[in-house]
Amino acid sequence: MSLTSCLLPFSQSSTAPLTSTCSCHLPASSSNFPVSSRNYYSSLRNESLVLNGGGSNHCRRFCGLKLWILKSPNLRHGSHRKHQHVKDLTTRSEHTFLSYERGFAEETGAAGLQPSETILGTDSVDDSHKAGDTPSVSKQFLDSLSDVPRGASLCIAVVGATGELARRKIFPALFALYYSGYLPEDVGIFGYSRKNLTDEDLRSIIASTLTCRVDHLENCGDKMDAFLSRTYYINGGYDNRDGMSRLDERMKQIEGVSKANRMFYLSVPQEALVDVACNIGDKAQAPQGWTRIIVEKPFGFNWYSSHQLTQSLLSKFEERQIYRIDHMLGRNLIENLTVLRFSNLVFEPLWNRTYIRNVQVIVSESVAQTAKYSDGYGIIRDIFHSHILQTIALLTMEPPISLDGEDIRNEKMKVLRSTRKLDPAYAILGQYKYTSGDKNEAILNSVGPTYCAAALYIDNARWDGVPFLVRVGTGLIKHRVEIRVQFRHVPGNIYRDNIGINIDLGTNELILRDEPDEAILVKINNKVPGLGLQLDASELNLLYKDRYSTEVPDSYEHLIHDVIDGDNHLFMRSDEVAAAWNILSPVLEEIDKHHTAPELYEFGGRGPVGAYYLWAKHGVPWADG
């Protein structure tokens, strides 16, 4: 018998004295861990682990093999913390198994070994196993893998964790993703603020805001407990440099030896944003994985302040690491714009100046939904700059070459560059008031308008001459978020006399409604059944609540998921931010330099009267239905 095929019991091998120095604490027995005296191959055979090489390498390679099996995605089953038994794995070919040899060598430090010492997936010594078979591993060895400490593969930090936005939106969105399986089970959630709290304090604060989906409530309590147990608090104090260092150390403790990614949600006031972001860049970026930061709107006060903010962020991060979030862009309506345009042949041939008369973008908040906008920013800087202009860009851009985020951003940028600067004569600013006895009082500061109606034009071949009418306001009579695409009249319409005096009532219209009751409506002309010829303007409707039973995820949930996936098409790039400020600059300068007073309108009313005249000036009928 050849010595190269001889198996020596582990306890009798020359490496036995070295097992005491191994930090992996592997159980060893002569029945389960025989060691091959051969120096050429390693394999797994007959419920036994066969190692190769000299005795000095055994301990290191045992640890390395354990870590490699834990990290290898093909040896894990779905969860980041549950492992599939090797006996249950599909048999792989020698070529497939060898493809992981390099990865194992890199992760275990075996890269410096001779080729004959690396792991192979086959061994022809024993005729009972053919080339390409994946031999089984002893149950005792696999059980020992659970002793290896595992760290978080993803760490998410919410900076400003005790604020209203974090409690009501961010933490519930993170839990919804965790509950639905879109976050790894080993995720680490970190809350960071200046308050002197403990982990348990933070868990108590956010626990009441967490809810499970109504369409699947299985194991809700268990999932919630697991999520809270992986939530930690860091007291950043008043020095973010020291605070971020403490956050970094805590993250490293949770991550262990894992190659982890990090995401930071900056839910902080604008005046603190640069300091927080720069200290994250200096002190808390991921050592090995990716780092991404989420920045809340508004993105500056004007072009100049936005440029300074952008330069500060780019001094510490690359553009691909920065995600400027606007929760209104996470609505299903926005995501569906490109789907409707580029996956339906019926719309694309009509999507131009030849057939479209005007486009209206309406964001109207009723009294019940009215919320105070950022102090001193007003509705133009808070809503118009990001949500409105991004919506128009997605609605009007040319087909991108792919669904890659940068390709879509490039097309949006072309639209923004082609958009004419907003002439103050084409904008109506308003502010709501309420009546208190015999005295009228404006609720908000006069430098922050609560209503804006404007007419925009895109100077390119597709949209030349088509007015884009925007109405965004709060404290109005109706709550409505929708896009209305009105088509031109039918040339030489032979049914003109049957439509009635108002030809506009017979105009085709596509309505994309987000609130209330998300729907897609197409307004058409139809003959009323019966004798005679009478036309009626009817709507073909797709009402989401009737068609789909799935609960629609919150917009924060949607956008945070996109950040984790690296999908940035709904987030503004630096050049998009600058281009948007450039469009709004004339109106903002008019407000700042000349202290233009907004037109007052009744709280709970229809908005400023001047908006009706603006629509008429551009030949657009007021869509108030």
For the segment 285-322, what is each residue's pLDDT rounded down to a tens digit?
999 899 999 999 889 888 999 999 999 999 999 999 99
Average pLDDT in the chain: 77
Q: Which of 359, 387, 382, 330 is nearest to 552 (CA)?
A: 330
- Confidence class for position 376, pLDDT limits 50, 70, 90: low
- What is the total residue count of the chain? 625
Q: Are residues 275 and 360 in the same domain?
A: no
Range of the domain at 175: 154-296
Confidence at 377, pLDDT banded by 50, 70, 90: low
Q: What is the pLDDT of residue 229?
A: 93
Given a cut of 90, whether residue 382 has pLDDT beyond it is: no
Spatial separation of the C-alpha atoms in residues 504 and 522, rounded to whole Å: 15
* Residue 592 counted as domain residue: yes
My answer on whether 515 and 609 are in the same domain is: yes
One domain, residues 599 and 484? yes
pLDDT above 50: residue 22: no
Q: Do 292 and 370 fall into the same domain?
A: no
**Which stretches of 373-449 are DSSP H helices?**
378-379, 389-396, 405-418
Do 405 and 587 contact (CB within 8 A), yes or no? no
Same domain, 610 and 514: yes
Residue type for position 32: N
CATH of residue 490's domain is: 3.30.360.10
- Least confident among 55-59, 159-163, 204-208, 278-282: 55-59
Which of 340 and 16 is assigned the larger pLDDT? 340
- pTM of structure: 0.73
Position 483 pLDDT exceeds 50: yes
Half-sphere exposure of 127 (CA within 13 A, CB side): 0
Q: CB of 517 within 8 A of CB of 388?
A: no
Of residues 411 and 439, more confidence is placed in: 411
Catalytic: 558?
no
Please identify which of the residues 385, 387, 558, 569 carries the catalytic annotation: 387
Is residue 185 domain-resident? yes
Residues 435 and 523 in one domain: yes
Band of the pLDDT at 468, cuts 50, 70, 90?
A: very high
What are the structure tokens assigned to 412, written together? Answer: 């949006």
Residues 500, 524, 605: CA angle, nearest 5 degrees: 75
Q: What does the alpha-carbon distance between residue 220 and residue 103 come to, in Å, rounded to a whole number?
A: 38
Q: To which residue do tokens 């281009």 refer?
A: 579
Has residue 494 been placed in a domain?
A: yes
Bigger pLDDT: 33 or 266? 266
Last residue of a domain, one of 281, 296, 311: 296
Residues contacting 185, CB < 8 A, separation 6+: 79, 80, 81, 226
* Residues 262 and 334 grouped into a single domain: no
Say what the pLDDT of residue 624 is.
61
Do 370 and 239 fall within a single domain? Answer: no
Asked if pLDDT for residue 26 goes beyond 50, the answer is no
In a domain, 278, yes or no: yes
Q: What is the pLDDT of residue 11?
A: 38
Q: Check whether 283 has a pLDDT greater than 50.
A: yes
> Rounded to an integer, what distance in angstroms lies between the CA atom of residue 428 and that of residue 454?
6
Q: Is residue 566 part of a domain?
A: no
Residue 34 inside a domain? The answer is no
Domain shared by 265 and 410, yes or no:
no
β-partners of residue 521 are 511, 541
Determine the average pLDDT of the residues in 554-564.
95
Largest CA distance in the chain: 110
Residue 437's pLDDT band (boundaries 50, 70, 90)? low
Task: Choose one of 296, 313, 343: the last residue of a domain.
Answer: 296
Rounded CA-CA distance 343/172 in Å is 33
Kindly state whether residue 217 falls inside one of the protein's structural domains. Answer: yes
Which residues on adjacent β-strands are paired with residue 441? 434
Is 143 among the domain residues? no
Question: Which of 296, 313, 341 corresponds to the end of one domain?
Answer: 296
Region 470-476 average pLDDT: 90
Residue 155's DSSP bridge partners are 188, 262
* Same domain assignment for residues 267 and 390: no
Number of structural domains found in the chain? 2
pLDDT value of position 216: 60
- If asked whether residues 584 and 479 sit together in one domain, one would say yes
- CA distance linking residue 466 with residue 600, whole number of Å: 29
Q: Which CATH number does the domain housing residue 167 bear?
A: 3.40.50.720
Greater pLDDT, 496 or 102: 496
Residues 343 and 420 in one domain: yes
Mean pLDDT along residues 90-95:
38
Cα–Cα dist 376/446, whole Å: 9
Q: Which residue has the higher pLDDT, 529 or 400?
A: 400
